[in-house]
């Protein structure tokens, strides 16, 4: 269940949560013509701070460019609106969802004439993959392949292509697993329904490249930096399904899921969260909470 907040920002103004409505003939609702972002704000000793807000907004604009969608608001306005919303909703910590979608005005597939509408919502969101994630989650390889980069721009965080994630997630949950891992059309490991993947083999961390259809994750980038600063080698390389089965450790990462250990893949045991996963989780929580000075550059304080 969603925890309601007081306000949602829509096209330039804060409206009460219940009044944040759109028309049923919105183009984006019918054809998935939208781009979005998910950012977390964390509680710090200096109040709430958004983690890597600039990088998320940059990716929103890159996604929009890939869809030929002209966003009607600039980055500075969206940044200010995000801070205003988190402040108005009085969150200590929260998840923030930026969405730009094609609205009312055109009912064919051709998006010409449909206006771009923008919204920013925030709510308090705990562990995305459940509290049980502490012990490590159970993954299943999906029967659905990941969206292919020759079919849709997989580097865009666009709404329509998330049908792929929703199908994979539902299939995994119905089969009794926590989350789905998707392979690319040519059989390389891509990502999970809403997270990037890391495995440890020996002293090296591996994560799939975006050419395997994975989103260029901002948490993936943060984890790569944290791991390198901890002295670990990180390689962005194609992985096979069997590389997951043979992993010494495995974890997922994403804005919602943060750093979540994986206990098994297709019932092949990897085991309880390992030492590298523990170090990365600790480093991540020190970074997002502002406790580690080295990563304060990643925080935007709500003020």
What 3-state DSSP class applies to 82?
helix
* CB neighbour burial string for 199-224, b if at least 16 within 10 angstroms, e if fewer: bbeeeebbbbebebbbbebbbbebbb
Q: What whole-number distance in Å separates Cα of residue 161 and Cα of residue 34?
A: 10
Candidate list 178, 191, 243, 249; residue touching ligand PMP; CB under 6 A = 191
Using the minimum distance from each CB to ligand PMP, give the nearer residue, 103 or 217.
217
Relative to beta strand 47-51, strand 34-44 is: antiparallel
Give 227's DSSP letter: H
Point out the catalytic residue in the list 75, 157, 169, 279. 157
157 is catalytic: yes
Candidate list 196, 260, 264, 277; residue touching ligand PMP; CB under 6 A = 196
Interface region with ligand PMP, contact rule CB under 6 A, candidates 14-22, 100-108, 170-178, 216-224: 216-224
Relative to beta strand 204-207, strand 233-236 is: parallel
Relative to beta strand 268-269, strand 258-265 is: antiparallel
Interface region with ligand PMP, contact rule CB under 6 A, candidates 105-113, 168-176, 187-195, 288-296: 187-195
H helices within 119-175, ranges in order?
162-174
Q: How far is the CB of 220 from ligand PMP (least distance, A)?
A: 6
Q: How far is the CB of 74 from ligand PMP (least distance, A)?
A: 21
Q: How far is the CB of 24 from ligand PMP (least distance, A)?
A: 26
DSSP string, 287-302: HHTT-SGGGGGGEEE-
What 3-state DSSP class applies to 204?
strand
Binding of ligand PMP at residue 219 (CB under 6 A)?
Answer: yes
Here the tokens at position 253 are 């990462």
Binding of ligand PMP at residue 217 (CB under 6 A)?
Answer: yes
Binding of ligand PMP at residue 67 (CB under 6 A)?
Answer: no
Binding of ligand PMP at residue 165 (CB under 6 A)?
Answer: yes
Binding of ligand PMP at residue 96 (CB under 6 A)?
Answer: no
Candidate list 122, 147, 220, 300; residue touching ligand PMP; CB under 6 A = 220
Is residue 252 within 8 Å of residue 263, measured between CB atoms?
no
Binding of ligand PMP at residue 213 (CB under 6 A)?
Answer: no
What 3-state DSSP class applies to 181?
strand
Binding of ligand PMP at residue 179 (CB under 6 A)?
Answer: no
Candidate list 34, 254, 273, 290; residue touching ligand PMP; CB under 6 A = 254
Size of the site for ligand PMP (CB under 6 A): 13
Is residue 282 within 8 Å of residue 31, measured between CB atoms?
no
Task: Please list the active-site residues.
Answer: 157
- Judged by the rule CB under 6 A, the positions of this chain that interact with ligand PMP are 38, 165, 191, 194-196, 215, 217-220, 254-255
């Amino acid at each position: 269940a969603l925890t309601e907040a007081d306000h949602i920002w829509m096209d330039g103004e804060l409206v009460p949560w219940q009044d944040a409505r759109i028309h049923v003939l919105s183009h984006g609702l019918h054809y998935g013509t939208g781009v979005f972002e998910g950012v977390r704000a964390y509680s710090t000793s200096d109040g709430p701070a958004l983690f890597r807000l600039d990088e998320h907004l940059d990716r929103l604009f890159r996604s929009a460019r890939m869809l030929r969608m002209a966003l009607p608001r600039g980055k500075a306005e969206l940044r200010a609106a995000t801070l205003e919303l988190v402040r108005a909703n009085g969150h200590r910590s929260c998840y923030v969802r930026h969405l730009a979608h094609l609205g009312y005005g055109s009912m064919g597939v051709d998006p010409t004439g449909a206006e771009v509408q923008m919204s920013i919502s925030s709510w308090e969101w705990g562990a995305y993959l459940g509290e049980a994630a502490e012990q490590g989650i159970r993954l299943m390889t999906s029967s659905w392949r990941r969206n292919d980069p020759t079919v849709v721009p997989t580097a865009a965080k666009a709404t329509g292509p998330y049908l792929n994630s929703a199908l994979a997630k539902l299939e995994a949950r119905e089969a009794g697993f926590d989350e789905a891992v998707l392979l690319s059309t040519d059989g390389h490991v891509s990502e999970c329904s809403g997270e990037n993947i890391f495995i440890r083999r020996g002293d090296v961390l591996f994560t799939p490249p975006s050419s395997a259809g994975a989103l260029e994750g901002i948490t993936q980038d943060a984890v790569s930096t944290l791991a390198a600063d901890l002295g670990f080698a990180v390689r962005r390389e194609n992985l096979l399904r069997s590389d997951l089965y043979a992993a010494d450790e495995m974890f997922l990462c994403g804005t919602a899921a943060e750093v979540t250990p994986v206990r098994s893949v297709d019932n092949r045991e990897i085991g309880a969260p390992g030492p590298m996963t523990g170090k990365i989780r600790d480093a991540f929580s020190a970074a997002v909470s502002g406790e580690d000075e080295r990563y304060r550059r990643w925080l935007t304080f709500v003020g």
